[in-house]
Structure 1
Amino acid sequence: MTVAADAPPLRRPTRLAYGFGSVADGIKSAAFSTYLLLYFNQVLGVKASVVSTAIALTLLVDAVVDPLIGRMSDLTRSKYGRRHPYIFAAAVPAAFFFGMTWFPPAGLSDFAMGVWIFGFAAFARASMSMYQVPANALGSELTQDYAERSRIYGLRYWFAYAGTFAFAAFALKFFFVATPEYPKGQLNPAGYVPFAITAASLIFISILVCGWGTRSRIPYIRQADEREASPGLLSHFKEMGVAFKNRGFLTVFGFAILKWTAIGLYGATSLYFGTYVYQLSSGQLALLTLDSFVAVCIALPLAPKVTKWFGKRNTSLWMALIGITLGTSPLWLTYFDLFFPPGHPLLLPTLLLIGAVYGTMVALSLMMTAAMLADVVEDDAVTSGKHNAGIYFAASSFATQCASGLGILAAGFVLETSQFPGGVDPALVTEAMTDSLIAHYVPMVMGLWAIGCLIIWFYPIDEAKHLANVERLRAREAEAKARDMQDAPLGAPAR
């Protein structure tokens, strides 16, 4: 890799623009993980197994696209750097294919609906990967500071949560308005038209803001050597395979697969629990959804502090384990008839309080693992001699996308095995139906988080090792600059 110039301090507008770029991924994740299954299953009446299987099959696209984009961006050399060409190119197709997913032609069979979902969701995911993988890799190149990385990835997660939960709360309040025909506004098909159009527009804006706002850093980001510009397909897969030899990456990857499967399962079923178990209105669900955004606002300033107090690994592990135990407590207490019944005046305040604490813990865990992955890039560079951020963040993006899809597939499994009916009137849902749903959901989601925490326990990079890695890389870069100056003809610019 060509050594980058010494970068000036990272400015606040650049950090904000980079963070704002994750609004696109937050909106896409919320829409596909939470609303897509509910819309096609409960509003349009498509079987849950068909919808969840169609979404899960898009993983086949991610399995090919994500690693290739990451590797290609690592090897790209242009006047716009190696990340920004992909970021700018993704804006239009990501918004277009996302929007089209929500507008299937009338009269399609369940199978045809599944094909429609798979086709447009797959194109939307691929377009988002073309943006998301290079953008995530860019974060590791904005700074090498151990604590600063926690800040910028914390900021990125804050905006992702804004996209996920603030927009979802806005949609529940203003798009999914209750009517006499649809007292549960989230089941009103008319609300999904402005929802889809607004979401697609925000995805487009978010991607452009990220690319334009970080363009000033292009001169200070490593470029690929010209001789690496045309790798073969076999070379791509060989380079990607290197990532799975790094112990630090394997622990983060394993944790990511399990935690995002659990998060995907939660996202796909949360509206079911709010609608049928707690019997909340769309306005109450908006408050409950906004609660998760409040949680990340609490987590953001805490991220650099807990990094110094406990380290990234311990924070990620214990916040996840304690958080999921607390977060599922209303459900298993409801199962044993120990929680507030629907309509009780303390039900919503208690759910809000638990959600804020649980959400803060999970947000801290997610922020830490993103920063841990950035540290893995330097750890690999010490041994490989290459700064392959694209490869690692592509693999992480695939883990996220894959696991989110697996979470939706798991949600379909939970709904089918619990025999929860599709297109059912909330007034006809019985306690036996909701108890069966809870009994199938809680053990699965807690088991996924517990196994993930066991894996992340073996993450090997602490602050001391990270600082040693950075110093070794700086020494190598200084030697490379000295050789360039020594070998260059008199008067030639140093690259």
Structure 2
Amino acid sequence: MPVNAPPKLSTATRIAYGTGAIADGIKNAAFSTYLLLYFNQVLGVPAAIVSTAIALTLAVDAVVDPLIGRISDLTRSRWGRRHPYIVGAAIPTAVCFALTWFPPSGLTDFQMGIWIFAFASLTRACISTYQVPANAMGTELTQDYTERTRIYGLRYWFGYAGTFAFAAFALSVFFRATPEYPQGQLNPAGYTPFALSAAAVILVTILICGFGTASRIPHLRQTEEREEAAGVLTHLKEMGAAFTHRAFLTLFGFSVLKWTAIGLYGATSLYFGTYVYRLTALELALLTLDGFLAVCIALPLAPRFTRWWGKRRSAMFMAFFGVTLGTAPLWLTYLDLFFEPGHPLLVPTLLVINAIYGAMVAISLMTTSSMLADVVEDDAVKSGRHNAGIYFAANSFAVQCAAGLGILAAGIVLETSRFPVGLKPEAVTRAMTDSLIAHYVPMVMALWGIGCLVLWFYPITEAKHLENVEKLRAREAEANARVQSNNPVSGASR
């Protein structure tokens, strides 16, 4: 049982917990934004092979993520349920991530696909070993309805800020323009320091999260002791039970669709920046500031919108209207109503639009993470078990769709739009970029729109959450009283 009155979270613990999000953010950004461009446009592997190889890694996630969540939920150790996996995943994640970017020379396109699949799968399995327990731990840090939005908001802030800061650094340092490569993001030499530096940051931030939150271990929930070991069928039954929970199903459906859309955006954003707007690496680096501005706007606003509109409506409205604004520059370009490449107002306008759009989407992401924590308690009231690992494992799988289904969707967009491979930006025609826009915008809008319709059926309100918390507190008080009566001399044991 958890200690009844744990000490208030310190600022250092909050920062350490938030810092850990940088690792997953860098991995997602690298895989979603750079991996397809690197293997497709730099190394010349067909987009269909790259996107399919990455999409197939979802089969690995479908097995690994719930398994990690389940094992984490059942672990008992002096380091608690979550920390052994958080700390243990740091080195394997960094190593597998780095190796993904260094395929041996002389491989065929098909062999390149196998390489991508193998090391992307290993990287994602390793980072899930960290990310699933870390996210599940967030539900145990506080039970307050609004405070949860703040905690997950802070985690998203670090994820956004760290990721975009690293992206800006990479574009301005590793992918600087050269006479041979005016668009430095197409320079093969830049990807070696990029991969190694990203791996180092991933390693350090995971360790900061693990060791920086270790002081909370005595106050986190331990797994309940069972009379006999649960069998495989019991594990499968309890994992499958998550998908009978209505609130979770709505969140899971929304998450899969939204992260696929985010992955599609991430995988194509450098294509639009390079070939539609003809931006240099320095201009792209400047535009990464929009992500930092977005999350700085979203962090204080997310709890406010939660209080004003409730979590469900905040997540829905911010997502749909945000993406409508975010795609505006593309469809306005298609209609010849936007700034031409090289116009002095092009980059500032993109920066403002993307910052506002990004803030709206970030509010939606922060809110849905808080909603998932509420689902864990709703399930605990019904089942008697705190299976945060299982639920956050399923959510982790949805997030991985950004690097799986999202890149597959990007591959479909590139193939159906017949976008060429290996052309220099000046050789790409307006008809080519118009075709790319015409295939991209309807797909991304459909993904977000359907996701919002699914989320409409989410049933947990603030009143329901407070009712669940009171029921759980009453159960814990009753259980503690039983322990006290069974230990009249030594008192309660934990």
Same fold (TM over 0.5): yes
Whether the 8 Å contact between 1:77 and 1:229 is mirrored in structure 2 is: no
User: Which residue of structure 2 aligns with residue 484 of structure 1?
Assistant: 483
In 1, distance between residues paired with 2:382 and 2:35? 43
User: Which residue of structure 1 aligns with residue 456 of structure 2?
Assistant: 457
Whether the 8 Å contact between 2:263 and 2:401 is mirrored in structure 1 is: no
In 1, distance between residues paired with 2:472 and 2:160? 34
In 2, distance between residues paired with 1:229 and 1:165? 48
User: Which residue of structure 1 aligns with residue 420 of structure 2?
Assistant: 421
Whether the 8 Å contact between 1:75 and 1:228 is mirrored in structure 2 is: no
Please tell me the residue identity of whatever aligns with 1:441: Y
Structure 1 residue 451, shift from structure 2 partner: 0.4
In 2, distance between residues paired with 1:378 and 1:12? 25
The verdict on how the C-alpha distance between 1:90 and 1:411 changes in structure 2, with shifts beyond 3 A counting, is same
User: Which residue of structure 1 aligns with residue 240 of structure 2?
Assistant: 241
User: Which residue of structure 2 aligns with residue 256 of structure 1?
Assistant: 255
Structure 1 residue 355, shift from structure 2 partner: 0.6
Structure 1 residue 231, shift from structure 2 partner: 3.1
Confirm or deny that 1:280 pairs with 2:279: yes
Unmatched runs of 5 consecutive residues or more in structure 1: none
Please give the residue correspondences for 1:399-418 in structure 2 after superposition, counting only pairs within 5 Å: 399-418=398-417
Unmatched runs of 5 consecutive residues or more in structure 2: none
In 2, distance between residues paired with 1:234 and 1:293? 45
User: Which residue of structure 2 aligns with residue 51 of structure 1?
Assistant: 50
The verdict on how the C-alpha distance between 1:191 and 1:451 changes in structure 2, with shifts beyond 3 A counting, is same
Whether the 8 Å contact between 1:40 and 1:46 is mirrored in structure 2 is: yes
User: Which residue of structure 2 aligns with residue 293 of structure 1?
Assistant: 292
In 2, distance between residues paired with 1:75 and 1:160? 28
User: Which residue of structure 1 aligns with residue 358 of structure 2?
Assistant: 359
Whether the 8 Å contact between 2:310 and 2:462 is mirrored in structure 1 is: yes
Whether the 8 Å contact between 2:85 and 2:129 is mirrored in structure 1 is: yes
Alignment deviations for residues 55-112 of structure 1 (CA, whole Å, 9 cap, x no partner): 1111111010000000110000010000000001100000000000001111111011
Whether the 8 Å contact between 1:82 and 1:223 is mirrored in structure 2 is: yes
Confirm or deny that 1:77 pairs with 2:91: no
Structure 1 residue 177, shift from structure 2 partner: 0.5
Whether the 8 Å contact between 2:419 and 2:432 is mirrored in structure 1 is: yes
Alignment deviations for residues 120-178 of structure 1 (CA, whole Å, 9 cap, x no partner): 11000000000000000000001101111011100000111123322111111111011
Confirm or deny that 1:119 pairs with 2:143: no
Whether the 8 Å contact between 2:54 and 2:403 is mirrored in structure 1 is: no
Structure 1 residue 309, shift from structure 2 partner: 1.3
Q: Give the secondary structure class of the aligned counterpart of 1:74.
A: helix
Please give the residue correspondences for 1:21-420 in structure 2 after superposition, counting only pairs within 5 Å: 21-227=20-226, 230-420=229-419
In 2, distance between residues paired with 1:231 and 1:109? 46
Whether the 8 Å contact between 1:325 and 1:446 is mirrored in structure 2 is: yes
Q: Give the secondary structure class of the aligned counterpart of 2:349.
A: helix
Query: What TM-score do the two structures reach when normalised by structure 1?
Result: 0.98
The verdict on how the C-alpha distance between 1:37 and 1:338 changes in structure 2, with shifts beyond 3 A counting, is same
Please tell me the residue identity of whatever aligns with 1:445: V
Structure 1 residue 185, shift from structure 2 partner: 0.4
Query: What TM-score do the two structures reach when normalised by structure 2?
Result: 0.98
Deviates more, 1:284-293 or 1:317-326: 284-293
In 2, distance between residues paired with 1:207 and 1:378? 27
Please tell me the residue identity of whatever aligns with 1:436: S
In 2, distance between residues paired with 1:63 and 1:216? 32
Structure 1 residue 228, shift from structure 2 partner: 6.9
Whether the 8 Å contact between 1:244 and 1:250 is mirrored in structure 2 is: yes
In 1, distance between residues paired with 2:438 and 2:229? 53
Q: Give the secondary structure class of the aligned counterpart of 2:404.
A: helix
Structure 1 residue 4, shift from structure 2 partner: 4.0
Structure 1 residue 221, shift from structure 2 partner: 1.1
Q: Give the secondary structure class of the aligned counterpart of 1:420.
A: coil
Whether the 8 Å contact between 1:248 and 1:460 is mirrored in structure 2 is: yes
Structure 1 residue 493, shift from structure 2 partner: 4.5
Whether the 8 Å contact between 1:418 and 1:437 is mirrored in structure 2 is: yes
User: Which residue of structure 2 aligns with residue 8 of structure 1?
Assistant: 7
Whether the 8 Å contact between 2:57 and 2:120 is mirrored in structure 1 is: yes
In 2, distance between residues paired with 1:343 and 1:422? 24
Q: Give the secondary structure class of the aligned counterpart of 2:483.
A: helix
Whether the 8 Å contact between 1:263 and 1:404 is mirrored in structure 2 is: no
In 1, distance between residues paired with 2:490 and 2:461? 44
In 1, distance between residues paired with 2:226 and 2:378? 24
In 1, distance between residues paired with 2:18 and 2:227? 30
Please tell me the residue identity of whatever aligns with 2:289: L
In 2, distance between residues paired with 1:232 and 1:453? 38
Confirm or deny that 1:475 pairs with 2:468: no
Please tell me the residue identity of whatever aligns with 2:480: K
Structure 1 residue 402, shift from structure 2 partner: 2.9
Identity over aligned residues, as a percent? Answer: 72
Between the two proteins, the alignment pairs up a number of residues equal to 494
Structure 1 residue 229, shift from structure 2 partner: 8.0
